[in-house]
Structure 1
Amino acid sequence: MAAGTLQVQNLGVRYGGVTAVEGSSFEVAPGECVGIIGANGAGKTSTLKALMGLAPRTADALRLGEVDLARVKARHVVRHGIGYVPEGRHVFGGLSVRTNLELGAHSRRWDDQAKATLEEVYTLFPVLRDMRERLAGALSGGQQQMLAIGRALMSRPRLLLLDEPSMGLSPKLVGEVLDVLQVLRGRGLAMLLVEQNAWLTFEATERCLVMQNGEVVMTGRSADLRHDPAVRRLYLGL
């Protein structure tokens, strides 16, 4: 495996007696954006939460490069190179944009490198620089999504997990999110994307995993899957 590759083998997630994910296996390499698609309840969000240690999980292998994630407590996952953009953004509405971003670097020393990362985030999202002293709760939904992504990038992750980043956004802002994901991929960041917006998913990713009832039932190139009748039925309801 390339250094920094995410390796997942036979991942399982159970909530009490309910199985949310069963036997899921996949890899994500540096500079690769992989999508997870499927209907609601297919196990997509549970997969991301399992990688973050936020859901009860079992796995034969769960590694990011040299790090055995199965041995890492949830509160330390960010230190080992994973950034997480949760569904619903969850920014700290009563704190300023700048403070939200600084909190994203809590696992690092606040030094010149951290300040340089902040400048990189401001370059990706100029509106955050303009509104850096404004309360996060006063931002629009699109601006809050940019803040959530920027906050996750402040830890300088090797792998970025994104859960529904286009939710509630206008088509113009969805296009801006796509532009940012392409820039990040070009910088060698590995990304795992859960997204209901079919256009964004197939444009942003090179490969997709198709999940149904907690299992990965199909994998393939995004360019091929977007025209696959079975995928259209499972994912798009067509």
Structure 2
Amino acid sequence: MTQGLEFSVSDLTVHYGGVCAVNGIGFTVPAGESVGVIGANGAGKSSALKALMGLVPRRVSSMRFGDVDLSRVKARDMVRHGIGYVPEGRHVFSGLSVEKNLLLGAYARPWDAKTRAGLADVYELFPVLGEMKDRLAGALSGGQQQMLAIGRALMSQPKLLLLDEPSMGLSPILVETILGVLQRLKGQGLSMLLVEQNAKLTFEATSTCLVMENGQVAMSGRSADLTHDARVRKIYLGL
């Protein structure tokens, strides 16, 4: 697994017409660490992640990844700079096989020994994908498609992995499976930014966490400390 790099962003703003979805937020993902972003529906979590990838118009004062300025990098080139992205809703290519979906994740890399080893690593991380490598992706269950979406992103050998709602629509058992994978990736030193509505999953998978409310970061801290914080319950659950 490729070791992570530090990522930082300041004054990130996203507008949809006259609506401000993300209002001047900033944070850092330290090298090899995992950071979570939680919040209620409409808090701006997914909009922030899409803006980081360049998938929606954004305004930003600074966005750096290691020594590289990403503020003007277009979405199609983010993967070449070491950013992997797992979109909300998986978006696998249903008419292609599992293995072809995975190979598409390595489109920016040469087909060399390292890339072949990366494919073997994905099959080791998700054995079910190896067993179904010739099956059409559209025939997989929702949980299997989520594994495929994560595996596809890992095929680019990212130094930072952005995940948008990976537990959405999954059974509790599959959520635990995804949690185990994220904890394993965290242990291998991959930098991760996890956007989730599932606060329990986020707190267990990350080192630090941001709580978003109305497009802003309402609070942040160590995930272990936020687990029982009454302010999180008020912001996140409306209690």
Aligned to 1:130: 131
Aligned to 2:164: 163
The DSSP-based 3-state class of the residue aligned with 1:25 is: strand
The DSSP-based 3-state class of the residue aligned with 2:134 is: coil
1:53-106 Cα distance to aligned partner (Å, 9 max, x none): 111111111011111111211110111011111110000000000000000000
Verify the 8 A CA contact 1:5 1:27 in the aligned structure 2. yes
Q: CA deviation at 1:182?
A: 1.1
Mapping of 1:92-107 within 5 angstroms?
A: 92-107=93-108
After superposition, the CA RMSD in angstroms is 1.3
Tell me, in whole angstroms, the C-alpha distance in 1 between the residues paired with 2:165 and 2:40: 13
Tell me, in whole angstroms, the C-alpha distance in 1 between the residues paired with 2:75 and 2:53: 6
Structure 1 spans left out of the alignment, 5+ residues = none
Tell me, in whole angstroms, the C-alpha distance in 2 between the residues paired with 1:163 and 1:201: 11
Verify the 8 A CA contact 1:198 1:236 in the aligned structure 2. no
The DSSP-based 3-state class of the residue aligned with 2:11 is: strand
Verify the 8 A CA contact 1:9 1:26 in the aligned structure 2. yes
Structure 2 spans left out of the alignment, 5+ residues = none
Matched AA of 2:170? L
Q: CA deviation at 1:111?
A: 1.4
TM-score by length of 1: 0.97
Q: 4+ residue stretches of structure 1 with deviation over 3 A? A: none
Mapping of 1:30-41 within 5 angstroms?
A: 30-41=31-42
Mapping of 1:170-209 within 5 angstroms?
A: 170-209=171-210
Verify the 8 A CA contact 1:4 1:66 in the aligned structure 2. no
Aligned to 2:16: 15
Matched AA of 1:118? L
Q: CA deviation at 1:198?
A: 1.9
What is the aligned-residue identity percentage? 69
Verify the 8 A CA contact 1:104 1:151 in the aligned structure 2. yes
The DSSP-based 3-state class of the residue aligned with 2:157 is: coil
Q: CA deviation at 1:174?
A: 1.0
- Aligned length in residues: 237
Tell me, in whole angstroms, the C-alpha distance in 1 between the residues paired with 2:95 and 2:233: 41
Aligned to 2:143: 142
The DSSP-based 3-state class of the residue aligned with 2:71 is: helix
1:211-230 Cα distance to aligned partner (Å, 9 max, x none): 11101110111111111112
Verify the 8 A CA contact 1:32 1:189 in the aligned structure 2. yes
Aligned to 1:69: 70
The DSSP-based 3-state class of the residue aligned with 1:54 is: coil
1:125-149 Cα distance to aligned partner (Å, 9 max, x none): 0000000000000000100000000
Q: CA deviation at 1:30?
A: 2.0
Q: CA deviation at 1:11?
A: 0.8
Tell me, in whole angstroms, the C-alpha distance in 2 between the residues paired with 1:164 and 1:136: 19
Tell me, in whole angstroms, the C-alpha distance in 1 between the residues paired with 2:122 and 2:128: 10
Q: CA deviation at 1:31?
A: 1.9
1:154-189 Cα distance to aligned partner (Å, 9 max, x none): 000011011111111111111111111111111111
Q: CA deviation at 1:237?
A: 3.5
Verify the 8 A CA contact 2:6 2:32 in the aligned structure 1. no
The DSSP-based 3-state class of the residue aligned with 2:163 is: strand
TM-score by length of 2: 0.96
Mapping of 1:34-53 within 5 angstroms?
A: 34-53=35-54
The DSSP-based 3-state class of the residue aligned with 1:4 is: coil
Tell me, in whole angstroms, the C-alpha distance in 2 between the residues paired with 1:193 and 1:220: 15
Aligned to 1:112: 113
Verify the 8 A CA contact 1:226 1:232 in the aligned structure 2. no
1:193-222 Cα distance to aligned partner (Å, 9 max, x none): 111112111111111111111011101111
